[in-house]
């Protein structure tokens, strides 16, 4: 029977529930349990697909094409197992399902209410993953902070759910903050006490408290929190700031979080978790033998969360190459043909980021021209690849003002154009080309050599594509399609001949890089940048 772990947050947002959930899941997985994590987000959008990255950070895309919260990226990177739509549910989706049922007549004669109809729908979504038979443990992270109006139905659903399945089949971990007041020279437990009191008002007694802190919690503090919050002292877990998120599983192991969880759920925990490969990764991450400087050209550079998966992919690829990747964020809006050399000085490789709309597009194109002409390793992702096509069209093929129809609908040379099936779509949410698609790599290309195989599958999120009318012209001049979608002939990945590394991918490789499986395109791009740094 599947057991359920709920993770709630108190005191403030941004405590890192996602990382704590992923770290606990990692420990349980390393003990041989089959674990998954799901996240409930209490906002009304159906999914984060229509949110600006400034609002919400990156939108993470799953194999089955769900646009989801970036925490799902952490779950996959830590566990190395894919998530799906069922792993991320928003209030909007819960209400949409209930309202659809109401229209179908499922509640005929009844008033449809938050309790029981919304809470029932939340409980149904908690059960979906557990009932799949694929998991021993399902960790459910509740977004938001306890006490928020919008979190209430979730807390109530968890209360009911625990009562229904029994208290030894589920537990609640509450994540709180223990702030340090420097004027008093003390760690303060009161915010934790108050947030537990709030949970108690809603009928939930947390089993374990994970306390975020900048300073170690001594036994006295732990005992005090335990006494006032009605938990065992061993259930008060210190979560001290870590230098990397990948340290957190080991920090939680030191605090016996996994053992405490398994004891409370009455599950065996005889063997220690097998974390050999994780430790090996950490060893390489923390002991680099070289350093490489890579530029990330994008328009959301003020907010690193906007490029979360790209960042983490570089961490995985850096560790694999035993080198420290230093990323320099370059705002594409501030980059011009004139200052490109100065902006990219000292960089050993340049990545041009995904994006939407025309803001900053010319800067991306200027950056690509510079790295193409100066033999600097280049990696373009989605819009980054499309910009490489535009740049090559304008500056090599002489297609004056070539563009994507996203930026210029009337361009004379639409080298990037809207996909046929996208043209009739009017709605914005969930209507892009989303999720995993197969791609056939051409034998003998650099891309095929990098993957070490010709049949690959990668995830997508876009509306525009390479315009095949121009393919011959491009290939003759050296920018070749190294991978094609076998079903619809779309160009999925391109590479430039006679360049140390010049690859553009229409898909998003960053969504599939994990600690256990660093993505080969990132690993090779870092290796090429490293080789370039040694040449200088």
Q: For the chain, what is the radius of gyration of the CA atoms?
A: 25
Q: 404 forms bridges with which residues in the sheet? A: 416
| Cβ 534 to ligand GLN shortest distance, Å | 31
Residue 67 binds to ligand GLN (criterion: CB under 6 A): no
| Length of the chain in terms of residues written | 536
Which residue, among 264, 280, 272, 263, has the nearest Cα to 31 in the 3D structure? 272
β-strand pairing of 290-298 with 323-331: parallel
Alpha-carbon distance 81 to 90, whole Å?
Answer: 22
Structure tokens at 317: 């690829």
Name the residue nearer to ligand GLN (CB basis): 95 or 356: 356
φ, ψ dihedrals at 341, nearest 5°: -60, -45
Alpha-carbon distance 138 to 128, whole Å?
Answer: 10
Instruction: State the residue for tokens 């790209």.
Output: 310
What is the SS3 assignment for 27?
helix
Name the residue nearer to ligand GLN (CB basis): 107 or 356: 356
Residue 199 binds to ligand GLN (criterion: CB under 6 A): no
Tell me, rounded to whole angstroms, the distance of Cα 152 from its chain centroid: 26
Q: Is 387 a catalytic residue?
A: no
| Cβ 492 to ligand GLN shortest distance, Å | 13
Residue 406 binds to ligand GLN (criterion: CB under 6 A): yes
Residue 382 binds to ligand GLN (criterion: CB under 6 A): yes
Active-site annotation holder among 382, 391, 439, 465: 382
Residue 356 binds to ligand GLN (criterion: CB under 6 A): yes
| Cβ 170 to ligand GLN shortest distance, Å | 38
Q: Is 508 a catalytic residue?
A: yes
Residues 458-487 that bind ligand GLN (CB under 6 A): 461-464
Residue 383 binds to ligand GLN (criterion: CB under 6 A): yes
Alpha-carbon distance 479 to 372, whole Å?
Answer: 11
Residue 34 binds to ligand GLN (criterion: CB under 6 A): no
Question: What does the DSSP 8-state code read for residue 151?
Answer: G
Q: Is 211 a catalytic residue?
A: no
Binding residue for ligand GLN (CB under 6 A) from 355, 393, 435, 520? 355
Residue 405 binds to ligand GLN (criterion: CB under 6 A): no
Residue 520 binds to ligand GLN (criterion: CB under 6 A): no
Strand ranges, E, within 59-112: 60-61, 67-68, 88-90
Instruction: List all residues 6 or more positions away from 15 whose beta carbon is below 8 Å from its beta carbon.
Output: 9, 175, 176, 177, 212
- 433-462 footprint of ligand GLN as x/- string (CB under 6 A): ----------------------------xx
Active-site annotation holder among 156, 391, 495, 510: 510
Point out which span in 34-42, 311-319, 330-338, 354-362 binds ligand GLN (CB under 6 A).
354-362
Residue 490 binds to ligand GLN (criterion: CB under 6 A): no
Residues that bind ligand GLN (CB under 6 A): 354-356, 382-383, 406, 461-464
**Where in the sequence numbering do the catalytic residues fall?**
382, 508, 510
């Amino acid at each position: 029977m599947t057991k359920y772990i709920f993770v709630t947050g108190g005191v403030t947002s941004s405590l890192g529930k996602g990382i704590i959930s992923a770290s606990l899941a990692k420990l349980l997985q390393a003990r041989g349990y089959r674990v998954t994590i799901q996240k409930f987000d209490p906002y009304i959008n159906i999914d984060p697909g229509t949110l600006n990255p400034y609002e919400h950070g990156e939108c993470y895309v799953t194999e089955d094409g769900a646009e989801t919260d970036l925490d799902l990226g952490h779950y996959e990177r830590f566990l190395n197992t894919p998530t799906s739509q069922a792993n991320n549910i928003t209030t909007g989706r819960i209400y949409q399902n209930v309202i659809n049922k109401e229209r179908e007549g499922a509640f005929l004669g009844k008033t449809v209410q938050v309790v029981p109809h919304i809470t029932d729908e939340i409980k149904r979504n908690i059960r979906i993953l557990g009932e799949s038979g694929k998991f021993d443990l399902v960790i459910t992270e509740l977004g938001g902070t306890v006490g928020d109006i919008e979190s209430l139905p979730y807390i109530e659903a968890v209360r009911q759910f625990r009562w229904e399945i029994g208290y030894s089949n589920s537990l609640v971990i509450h994540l709180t903050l223990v702030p340090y007041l420097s004027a008093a020279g003390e760690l303060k437990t009161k915010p934790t006490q108050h947030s537990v009191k709030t949970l108690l008002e809603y009928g939930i007694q947390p089993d374990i408290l994970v306390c975020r802190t900048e300073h170690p919690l001594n036994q006295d503090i732990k005992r005090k929190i335990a006494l006032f919050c009605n938990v065992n002292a061993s259930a008060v877990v210190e979560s001290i700031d870590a230098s990397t998120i990948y340290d957190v599983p080991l920090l939680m192991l030191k605090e016996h979080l996994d053992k405490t969880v398994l004891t409370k759920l009455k599950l065996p925990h005889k063997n220690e978790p097998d974390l050999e490969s994780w430790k090996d990764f950490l060893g390489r991450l923390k002991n680099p033998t070289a350093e490489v400087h890579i530029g990330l050209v994008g328009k959301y550079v003020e907010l690193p969360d906007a490029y979360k998966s790209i960042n983490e992919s570089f961490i995985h690829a850096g560790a694999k190459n035993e080198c420290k990747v230093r990323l320099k964020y370059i705002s594409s809006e501030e980059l011009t043909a004139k200052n490109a050399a100065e902006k990219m000085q000292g960089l050993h490789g340049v990545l041009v980021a995904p994006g939407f709309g025309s803001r900053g597009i010319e800067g991306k194109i200027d950056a690509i021209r510079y790295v193409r002409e100066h033999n600097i390793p280049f990696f373009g992702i989605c819009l980054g690849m499309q910009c490489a096509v535009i740049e090559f069209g304008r500056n090599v093929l002489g297609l004056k003002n070539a563009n994507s129809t996203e930026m210029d609908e009337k361009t004379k040379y639409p080298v990037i154009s809207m996909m046929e099936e996208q043209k009739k779509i009017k709605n914005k949410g969930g209507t892009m080309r989303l999720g995993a698609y197969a791609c056939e790599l051409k034998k003998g290309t650099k891309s095929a050599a990098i993957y070490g195989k010709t049949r690959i599958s990668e995830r997508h999120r876009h509306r525009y594509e390479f315009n095949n009318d121009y393919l011959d012209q491009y290939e003759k001049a050296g920018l070749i399609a190294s991978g094609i979608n076998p079903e619809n002939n779309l160009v999925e990945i391109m590479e430039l001949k006679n360049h140390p590394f010049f690859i553009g991918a229409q898909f998003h490789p960053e969504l599939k890089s994990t600690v256990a499986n660093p993505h080969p395109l990132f690993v090779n791009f870092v290796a090429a940048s490293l080789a370039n740094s040694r040449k200088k």
